[in-house]
Chains A and B, each alone.
Chain A
Amino acid sequence: MTSLYDEVQAAPAAGVEVRRITVNVNGTDRTVDVEPRLLLAHLLRQALQLTGTHSGCDTSGCGACTVLMDGRPVKSCTVLAVQANGREVETVEGLATASELHPIQEGFKEEHGLQCGFCTPGMMISAKALLERNPDPTEDEVRWALSGNLCRCTGYQNIVKSVLWAAKKMREQNQEA
């Protein structure tokens, strides 16, 4: 079991009751004691050391912290960790297997869909949610699906190409299977 406060060996804020929650993160159940006000983004980043989920704006504005909760994209900076109790959460760390990248990851590298890399995990997670419900999106559908994720470096054109590249590869893989 992990406590958020292991890092500094300190108690939570005075008078605050700690809740025990179990969240399935990238396929593994994680049981942790948390303050009710703890944000899901901070649970992932601090308690579970999954720092691929980035915290950009703390106000749902930028989408860098996007993760999938029960398959739906959520901005983890405005979800409480306790709301994830009993749910499945998928982060960027869950995309690749030990030996293979996810086609979305390959697409972003192949089409130069990232520069500083800060928006990339959230961007790829939003793309995954899109491609799972729409395996053959148009450019406009990709742009609309990613419009909750800001990027300051790329101008989006290559991000859109990356997602379309991944969509094509995933369709081909599905046909083979």
Chain B
Amino acid sequence: MAPLDELKIGGMGASRRRVEDNRFIRGKGRYVDDIVLPGMLHVEILRSPVAHARIKSIDTSAAWEVPGVRLVMTGETMAARNLAWMPTLSYDTQAVLATDKVRFQGQEVAAVVADNPYIARDALDKIVVEYEQLPVIVNPIQAQSPDAPLIRDDKENQTSNKIFDWEIGDKEATDRAFAQADVVSKIDLHYPRSHPSPLETCGSIADYDRSSGKLTVYMTSQAPHIVRAAVAMVAELPEHMIRIISPDLGGGFGNKVPIYPGYVISILASILTERPVKWVEDKSSNLISTGFGRDVYLEGELALRKDGKILGMRMHTISDHGAFFADAQPTKFKIGLMHSAFACYDIPAAHLVSEGYYTNKAPGGVAYRCSFRVTEAMFFQERMVHAAANDLGMDQAEFRRVNLVGDDMFPYRTAFGFLTDSGQYGKCLDVGLEAIGYSTFKQEQEEARKRGKLLGIGISTMTEPLGAGNSREYDIIGIKMFDSAELRVHMTGKAILRTGAKTQGQGHETTWAQIVAHELGIPADDIVVEEGDTDTAPFGMGTYASRSTPVAGAAVAMASRKIRAKARKIAAHLLEVSEEDIEWELGRFYVRGNQERGVTIQDCALAAYSNVPDGLEPGLENTSYYDPPNLTWPFAAYFCKVEVDAQTGVWDVLNFVAVDDCGVRINPMIVEGQVMGGLTEAYAMANMQYITFDEEGNCIGANYMDYLIPTSWETPGFELHEVVTPCPHHPIGAKGVGECATVAGPAAFVNAVMNAIEHTGVRNVDMPLMPNRVYEALQTGKNISGMPPVLSD
């Protein structure tokens, strides 16, 4: 018998066309706002127009008079049911509807439930709120001032605006390294506030059935099981009476991890009205009130030896978390995995000190397409590396080569204690340098400069930690970070797979089936994948931080292997030999020494329901909970070539080369799609995309006219390359890829622009590198800092 061709059955390595596309290209996706339940009402939320104010009174009487209005809710409505405040994912509390003060512009103040959204909006206009305005804090420097107003006066024992002090590393060893340094390179940076802004905003439909006591909530959630646990705690409903269904999601990027007031409001509204209640926010509400990313200031220092070796590293970060500490991140790490910075470099000593502050801005600090602050960590790292190479007068590529962890150094323990396990960093660097034409670039740059043209090349290299857990170290609100898969093989050999992850465009319905096909030889087309329904999917921590393939994907492989182990017993029974005499090839067991005599996995599936050996349970299904032994560590090396127009400050990307080593690739087409999407978000952050505030706390960037997202016209093309170093501990050798490009990308763009203009004496322009900032830097030869806010923006 000819062995099965894995690519033909849609197994590992096949660029299988996506299953989910069949409904999306027909307009048959099912997003939250597409769902209509009988008798459904609509809720709209009134938001605060000011950033910091005491609420003196709220008059809702006129709103109640609007025909079609069923319910008007304020903080009092919530407080009467102990729901005015809810816990955040970082052990803080967040107001659902304000009772005492509003603490950021856009905060939820009241809500109207009506027969349709138009009526609800009419009624919102009739609510009168009297505010007594208070001084406003819009950055963490102001927040530190002894005269600063106390934003969180609701919290006992909170006497300042500081949220946390956190540090890691060896201070003394680092101090010694700096004392021995030939050169100390310093740079101050700001990673500005940005918003993930998936095209679909957040929303929910709560449907409480009093007769059964069951609450069903359709919700835009990347982590429905966490939501179920949180709702059980907040609403004091029994967990088995809560069903969270996350249908198709129109993107997530971290924005749909937290639990928002709108969800809670729709739930209480449904309980009170005994009707299904839909809440779908508009774009402005999404941009001004839901989880942002970044907003971190850095003072970075590298201790350098003359020959280029980095001896030590110091980072001091000050982060702005908004009015409620609602970062979605593992409990132990207050500034996420910031301490993964420099994990790809061999550095003997390092020390990180972090401070977090409340401000009168929206809460968030979500992992915007990154693994918990890794985006900030790697941007700071690569900007520090760039500045250090310049300070030493060394070539950018050469400086990295001197300091990158060598192939023979794995497993490698970083100065902050992470264990990286595999990689070919030097090879990735070489592949990229050749593709971008690095060897001839300096000459090209010189000649162009003589003609008045400013060219630059930027490099960014990094390894990032993906796939949290392991569960010993990683939890969210106490829930350990593992993941799960449940595989049921039907009697005809077709199968259904469910996981605790939740796809938002990553294509799980396609790739998970490919892993099963690889492990069992069942064609991928014979496997249906379901996620997002807590009544049917096994418990999982959801999809963010690039953890799907590293954790849930591993669970899929392990569940498949358990199925194979049982099928082997059935095969032995069918072939009338002992189990030890059975061999496996893709999709088939055969008798050792006689390859012709065998049974397929489909034969075993049928027998599992019709001809089971004595002593074996019928059926062919299994569940795997996978707790990863370590994080996975993909590597990325990015190379960007730009031309800066000295007359306008506009810069164009001439070429962008991305070399990704994400381990074994399940579906190369989807991997490349992830990289290109991530690079575009990186380009966006480097070039245009940021949320800023005026001194009164007004959010500038509350719509797509002010919050600039690159279109097809600006977005450059990308040239992709691959290097494959399998992950040694992952069952299929994969490392995850969804976020590498967003994480490593921004520094490549910024380093390129800096390389083009730093001959003028400029050392840094903070993101986004909008033309006015670049122009100003070129004109003045001075750094452009994002702190305090750049007035010319």
Identify the A interface with B (CB < 8 A).
4-5, 7-8, 10-11, 13-14, 35, 37-38, 45-46, 49-59, 61-62, 64, 91-93, 95-96, 101, 105, 108-110, 112, 114-121, 124, 142-144, 146-160
Q: Taking A105-B25, A109-B21 as contacts, is the C-beta distance between A116 and B200 under 8 angstroms?
A: yes
Selected contact of A109 from candidates B17, B248, B711, CB within 8 Å: B17
Q: Which of A7, A54, A61 contacts B31 (CB 8 A)?
A: A54
Closest 7 CB pairs of A and B: A52-B27, A61-B704, A118-B250, A117-B24, A116-B505, A115-B505, A92-B27
Interfacial chain A residues near B31, Cβ < 8 Å: 51, 54, 118
CA distance A146 to B68 in the complex (A): 40
Q: Which residue of A lies closest to B33 (CB)?
A: A55
Q: Is the CB of A62 within 8 A of B283?
A: yes
Q: How far is the CA of A152 from the CA of B119 in the complex (A)?
A: 32
Interface string of B654-694 (1 = CB under 8 A from A): 00000000000000011011001111110000000000000
**Which residues of B in the span 1-58 have a Cβ within 8 Å of any Cβ on A?**
17-18, 20-31, 33-34, 36, 39-41
Determine how close the nearest CB of chain A comes to the CB of B616; give it in whole angstroms: 42
Q: Who on chain B is nearest to A121 by CB?
A: B27
Q: Are A14 and B283 in contact (CB under 8 A)?
A: no
Cβ-defined contact, B21 with A108, below 8 A: yes
Distance (Å) between the CB of B502 and the closest chain A CB?
A: 12
Q: Contacts of B253 on A, CB cut-off 8 Å?
A: 152
Contact present for B677 and A148 (CB under 8 Å)? no
Cα distance A7–B114 in the bound complex, in angstroms: 13
Q: Which of B197, B673, B704 contacts A154 (CB 8 A)?
A: B673
Residues of B within 8 A of A10 (CB): 68, 115-116
- Among B264-272, B389-397, B493-501, B713-721, the stretch that binds chain A is B713-721
User: What separation, in Å, do the CA atoms of A94 and B505 have in the docked complex?
Assistant: 24
B282 at the interface (CB under 8 A from A): yes
**Interface pair B704/A144, CB less than 8 Å apart:** no
A/B interface sample: 23 pairs, CB < 8 A: A10-B68, A13-B67, A14-B68, A53-B27, A55-B33, A57-B703, A57-B704, A59-B703, A64-B199, A93-B26, A112-B17, A116-B200, A117-B21, A117-B25, A117-B505, A118-B199, A118-B250, A121-B27, A144-B713, A148-B711, A151-B712, A153-B251, A156-B712
Does the CB pair A61–B116 fall under 8 Å?
A: no
Contact A120 B24 (CB under 8 A): yes
Q: Does B705 lie within 8 Å of A59, measured CB to CB?
A: yes
- The reply on B504 being an interface residue by CB < 8 A is yes
- A124 CA / B506 CA spacing, docked (Å): 20
Partner of B717, one of A55, A56, A101, A157: A157
Known: A116-B198, A143-B713, A144-B713. 19 other contacts (CB 8 A): A52-B28, A59-B703, A93-B27, A95-B26, A105-B25, A108-B21, A109-B17, A110-B17, A116-B199, A116-B504, A117-B20, A118-B251, A150-B711, A152-B197, A154-B673, A154-B677, A157-B676, A157-B715, A158-B676
* Residue B122, interface by CB 8 Å: yes
Write the nearest CB–CB distance from B16 to chain A, whole angstroms.
10
Interface majority SS (helix, strand, loop, mixed), chain A: loop
B677 adjacent to A147 (CB under 8 Å) = no
Q: Could you tell me the distance in whole angstroms from the C-beta of A9 to the nearest C-beta in chain B? A: 8
B contact residues around A110 at 8 Å (CB): 17
Residues of A contacting B249 in the complex (Cβ-Cβ under 8 angstroms): 116
- Total A-B pairs in contact (CB under 8 Å)? 194
The CA of A72 and the CA of B669, in the complex, are separated in Å by 33
B703 CB contacts on chain A under 8 angstroms:
57, 59, 61
Establish whether residues B711 and A147, one from each chain, have CB atoms under 8 Å apart when the complex forms: yes
Q: In the complex, what distance in Å separates the CA atom of A69 from the CA atom of B31?
A: 24
How many residues of chain B have a CB within 8 Å of chain A? 65
Counting chain B CB atoms within 10 Å of each CB, the highest count among A62, A153, A156 belongs to A153
Neighbouring A residues of B68 by C-beta, 8 Å: 10-11, 13-14
B25→A108 contact, CB < 8 A: yes
Query: Taking the nearest CB of chain A, how far is it from the CB of B739, in angstroms?
Result: 13
Please name the residue on chain A nearest to B35 by beta carbon: A51
Tell me which of B253, B680, B681, B705 has the highest count of chain A C-beta atoms within 10 A of its own C-beta: B680
Bound-state Cα–Cα, A14 to B67, Å: 6
Chain B hits for A58, CB < 8 A: 282-283
Taking a contact as CB atoms under 8 Å apart, the answer to whether A13 and B122 are in contact is yes
Given contacts A8-B41, A114-B24, A118-B251, contact A152 B712 (CB under 8 A): no
Nearest residue, chain A, Cβ from B41: A8
Task: Determine the residue in chain B with the shortest Cβ distance to A15.
Answer: B67
Report if B406 contacts A (CB, 8 A): no
Q: How far is the CA of A55 from the CA of B40 in the complex (A)?
A: 19
Q: Which residues of B pack against A, CB within 8 Å?
A: 17-18, 20-31, 33-34, 36, 39-41, 66-68, 115-116, 118-119, 122, 197-201, 248-253, 282-283, 504-507, 669-670, 672-673, 676-681, 703-705, 709, 711-713, 715, 717-718
Given that A7-B36, A14-B66, A51-B34 are contacting pairs, would A96 and B673 also be in contact in the complex, using a CB cutoff of 8 Å? no
B503 nearest CB neighbor, chain A only:
A116
Residue of B nearest to A64 (CB): B199
CA distance A46 to B278 in the complex (A): 13
User: Which of A96, A143, A147, A157 is in CB contact (< 8 Å) with B26?
Assistant: A96
Residues on the B chain within 8 Å of A112, using CB: 17-18, 669-670, 672-673
Interface pair B18/A56, CB less than 8 Å apart: no
A45→B23 CA distance, assembly (Å): 17
Q: Distance (Å) between the CB of B635 and the closest chain A CB?
A: 20
Contact assessment for A54 and B200 in the assembled complex, using a CB-CB cutoff below 8 Å: yes
In the assembled complex, the Cα of A116 lies from the Cα of B252 at a distance in Å of 9
Chain B CB within 10 Å — which of A37, A92, A95, A118 has the most? A118
Assembled-state Cα–Cα distance A147/B18 (Å) = 25
Nearest chain A CB to B244 CB, angstrom units? 19
Residues of B contacting A119 with CB < 8 Å? Answer: 199
Residue in contact with B67 in the complex, picked from A11, A55, A92, CB distance below 8 Å? A11
Inter-chain contact B115/A91, CB cutoff 8 Å: no
Taking CB atoms, residues of chain B closer than 8 Å to A56 are 199-201, 250, 283
Judge whether A146 and B712 touch: CB under 8 Å: yes
Min CB distance A42 to B, Å, is: 8
- Let me know if A117 and B704 touch, CB within 8 A: no
Closest chain A residue to B249, Cβ basis: A116
Is A152's CB under 8 angstroms from B33's CB? no
Complex Cα–Cα for A158 and B670 (A): 11
Please name all residues of chain B whose beta carbon is closer than 8 Å to the beta carbon of A151 when the two chains form the complex: 199, 712
B633 vs chain A, min Cβ distance (A):
24
Asked if B39 and A155 make an inter-chain contact with CB atoms under 8 angstroms apart, the answer reads no
How far apart are the CA atoms of A136 and B740 in the complex, in Å? 35
A residues in contact with B283, CB < 8 Å: 56-59, 61-62
CA distance A169 to B536 in the complex (A): 42
Write out the residue numbers on chain A whose beta carbons fall within 8 Å of the beta carbon of B197. Answer: 152
Q: Please tell me if the beta carbons of A156 and B680 are within 8 angstroms of each other in the complex.
A: yes
Taking a contact as CB atoms under 8 Å apart, the answer to whether B704 and A62 are in contact is yes
A155/B27 contact (C-beta < 8 A), A14-B67, A37-B118, A150-B199 known: no
Q: How far is the CB of B278 from chain A (nearest CB, A)?
A: 11
In angstroms, Cα B24 to Cα A93, docked, is: 11
Q: Given A13-B122, A92-B26, A118-B200, do A5 and B704 touch, yes or no (CB 8 Å)?
A: no
CB-based nearest B residue for A123 = B712
Q: In the complex, what distance in Å separates the CA atom of A85 from the CA atom of B676?
A: 42
| Contact present for B27 and A50 (CB under 8 Å) | yes
Q: With the chains together, A42 CA to B504 CA distance in Å?
A: 24
A59: B residues at CB distance < 8 A = 283, 703-705
A35 to B116, CA, bound (A): 12
Q: How far is the CA of A142 from the CA of B712 in the complex (A)?
A: 9
Across the interface, name the chain A residue whose C-beta is closest to B115.
A10
A118, B248: Cα distance in complex, Å:
9
In the bound complex, how far is the Cα of B24 from the Cα of A108, in angstroms? Answer: 10
Chain A residues lying within 8 Å of B717, measured Cβ to Cβ, are 157
Q: Tell whether A114 pairs with B282 under 8 Å between CB atoms, given A10-B115, A56-B200, A61-B705.
A: no
